[in-house]
Amino acid sequence: MCGIAGMCAFDDRWQAGDAAICAKLKMAGEALRHRGPDGGGIFADRFIAMTHRRLAIIDPKLGAQPMRKTQNGRTGVLVYNGELYNTQELRVELSQKGWSWETASDTEVLLAGLLQDGIVFLEKVNGIFAFAFWDGETLLLARDRLGVKPLFYAMEGDLLFFGSEPKALFACGFKPRMDKTTLCELFALGPAHTPGNGVFKGVCELLPAQWLQKKRDGVRVGCYWRLESKVFTDSERECVAKTSFLLQDAVERQMVSDVPICTFLSGGLDSSLATAIVAKKLREQGRRLATFSFDFKGNDAFYTSNAFQPSRDAPFAREMAAYLQTDHTELECGNADLADLLDDAMVARDLPGMADVDASLLYFCKIVGKQYKVTMTGETADEIFGGYPWFRSEAAFRINAFPWSQDMEIRKTFLRGDVLRELDLNAYAADAYAASIAQTPRLASDTPEEARRREIAWLNLEWFMQTLLSRMDRCSMSACLEARVPFADHRILEYVWNIPWSIKYKNGVEKSVLREAGRGWLPDSVLWRKKSPYPKTYHPAYENLLKERMRDILASPNEPLHTLIDRAKAEAFLDAPADYGKPWFGQLMAAPQRIAYFLQMNAWLRRYF
């Protein structure tokens, strides 16, 4: 996986080859070095300057970028972050049209396809990607269908900045700024963000399946794929069989790599299924899979079962590792490491994020990234198959609000009265919710209950899934590790989206169709295990560390957080007993995570402003 950045302008006074512009491109490349430590390059023409950082996974010797290709008098240049999972089929198709090859890389196949067909070629692609393609007259930016790989952009007059992360835009010369919308995104919606909103003033994120074209006459934006609601006609048996096929095919396609791969194995249904398929494929090749599980020091002593996390992962991960005969490693994160990495996790995302949920993933990825460049995960299965409690809770069906963030008052705990009056967080969240609901792919024959369930499912795809995909990309790539997400295959989403709830939730069991599709792959103890989300620490020492650090900020009048928070409110919150049972976002982010979020906020203000 890689990192890309660049600038484009058709102003005749702007010369992309100027030393000053090339110097900015080098700075952008350095800002993205964590995404690609294996090499880098710059391409500069009159109107375009692009840089690339490479994490070499496919054709390490010949797949360097920026890549240039010429055929039939046309030349294209590509910087690309991603993997194509149907490279071989596309290569054969393009070969039949007269294309020849100099490398074994998917980069060259994508470049040839864009030269051959333009944007239409993306309709044939199965993969994860964000890229910039230049043909001498037009700059084309595009992103994969489900938004696994990020791509940000900003405009200053005719000058377009783009990059894999906002920090690359800033390295190119676009200044980080904030406004009321920035603060509303962070406090009313964060760590989720409005689709397309880059939070920094003037920064946009290309939407999943979206393309942007810049020519002399201006900028055009469009989509090459949309999710559609259709009448489902398969029988339950056909449904299970097709789900099983799609999952196996997605996992096997995503094993493509010229370097060894591993998997994250939590012992839950999703990661266990992906791991089982990978392990079987490697055994057939005479190889043994390496697996990694995550926990926190002291969790065996301080964990207590609750509605959000009914069981610990560790025993089930061990059971799966023994069942699949993998080389298994258990990783544990300590309290100090977790607290110390909050700032690094913020820098990885360029924003306050999911607090210790991010920091712990970053810690684990740093360890795994020392041994492997590619890992497989079970991410996005809950969003696609309806695994979260809000898919079936009465409250989610009644309220007109994001189901994972129902109580806006929790979000106002630390904020000053004048800030709250100025921002109107309730109205901002309500408007964002209503705008998203209006875009739900609908079916005229849906009952009111089915229609509402589609709305909840759509909110999960557009908001919650994007938050988790961003977390996975930025934390893994910050550790030079490519995390693949086989459940985020557009064919799986297209099919599962239209499966009736009676099959998805048969006999009151969440993700029952996926469990049925997994028969024969897993022991029943794991196959039918009740969902337990990503682990978090319950150790009181971690909470105390957070409180100490927040009290240090409150005692220092020069810290930028004082412009936003009420010191008396914050101190009262720190003195009160922590409430782990009332999350303010999702299932994991309760009282300690609220403190951690504001610690990240202070570090963010200090770093960028």
Catalytic residue set = 2
With beta carbons less than 8 A apart as the criterion, state whether 495 and 243 touch.
yes
Q: Which residues contact 74 (CB under 8 A, 6 or more apart)?
A: 115, 135
Tokens, residue 312? 């610990």
Q: Which helix (H) or strand (E) holds 394?
A: helix 394-398
Cis peptide before 191 (omega within 30 of 0): yes
Q: What is the dihedral of CA 274, 276, 277, 279, to 10 degrees?
A: 120
Provide the b/e sequence for 505-518 (b: ≥16 CB within 10 Å): bbeeebbbbbbbbb
With beta carbons less than 8 A apart as the criterion, state whether 254 and 380 touch.
no
Tokens, residue 485? 């997400």
Rounded alpha-carbon distances, angstroms, from residue 250 to 77, 311, 490, 495, 581: 29, 29, 10, 13, 36
With beta carbons less than 8 A apart as the criterion, state whether 548 and 524 touch.
no
**Nearest by Cα to 77 from 132, 156, 39:** 132
With beta carbons less than 8 A apart as the criterion, state whether 369 and 262 touch.
no
Q: How far, in whole angstroms, is CA 420 from its chain's centroid?
A: 30
Sheet with 67-71: list strands edge to edge: 67-71, 74-84, 127-134, 139-143, 210-215, 218-223
* SS (HEC) of 444-496: CCCCHHHHHHHHHHHHHHHHHHHHHHHHHHHHHHHCCCEEECHHHCHHHHHHH
Q: Which residues contact 212 (CB under 8 A, 6 or more apart)?
A: 140, 141, 142, 153, 206, 219, 220, 221
Say which DSSP state 507 is in: G
How far apart, in whole angstroms, are the C-alpha atoms of residue 254 and residue 268?
20
How far apart, in whole angstroms, are the C-alpha atoms of residue 142 and residue 224?
9
Q: Torsion-angle region of residue 520: left (phi > 0), alpha (psi -120 to 50) or beta?
A: left
Neighbour tally for 523: CB within 10 Å: 15
With beta carbons less than 8 A apart as the criterion, state whether 372 and 552 touch.
no
Neighbour tally for 585: CB within 10 Å: 24
